[in-house]
Each structure stands twice: as structure tokens, then as C-alpha cells.
Structure 1
Amino acid sequence: MYLAEIQAVAKEREASRDDGAKAGWKRRCVDTHARCKDAGRGRWAGDCYACFVRCEREREWPYDRCHRR
């Protein structure tokens, strides 16, 4: 019984650590997408939404495709 409780706590901690890491890349994707949209077409190169979708998939903003001019 005691071992099962320890394993449950360990699993919970690992899950919360993973959620924290997940929130980090997701927040960066959302923030960069917001900057892209706010800057507008003339001051930002690339399709903001397409880059956001790619960022969600790859967990990194594709600066080679979407960046400030």
C-alpha cells in the first residue's frame, strides 16, 4: 500500500513537470504569434497563422519562415 502511494506521488510530480515544460513552449508560440499579428503584414514576413500551427507541431517558432522585417 505504501509503495503504491509513493509511486502515485512520483507520477503526479512527473506529470506536473511535463505540464510546466509544455506550457513554456506553448506560451512562446502564442506570444510570438500575437507579436506577428499585432505588427501587421508590412512589418512582419510570413503567414502568422501557418507559423503558429507549425510552432505547435514542432514546439519552436519557425523564424526562417516568419520574422520581423
Structure 2
Amino acid sequence: MDISGETRAVKSYMVELEAEVAKIERREEKLLRKPVMTDDKDICSYVTFISVSFRVYLFSCFAGNM
């Protein structure tokens, strides 16, 4: 590979890295905008949501295998 080919490869790799960094930064911004759980009720409802979601997921897995 010549110098110009290596330069192009490095530049395209840098563009890909910049795109990945931008994705991560957008995810971080979304997470920072989410409200913080400050109340025990919020935490309990969140845990309940997760447990119900997990049960639905397990049911769908078993139902799909029957």
C-alpha cells in the first residue's frame, strides 16, 4: 500500500471513529436528560416494571418453544 492509500485508510477509520463517538455522546445526553429517581415509589414501580417485563419475556420464550 502506498502512502496515499494508507492516508485514505486512516482518514476513513477516523471518520468511523468520530461517528461512533457521536453515537455514544448522543446516548449520554439522553441518559442525562432522564429524570433521577428520588422517591421510593419511583424505585418500586421501576422494579415492578422490570419484573413484569422479565416474566413476559420468559413466557414468550417458553411459548415460542412449544
User: What's the TM-score once normalised by structure 1's chain length?
Assistant: 0.48
Q: Greater share of strand residues, 1 or 2?
A: 1
Greater Rg by CA: 2
Which of structures 1 and 2 has the larger relative contact order (alpha carbons within 8 angstroms, sep 6+)? 1
Higher helix share: 2
- When normalised by structure 2's length, the TM-score is 0.50
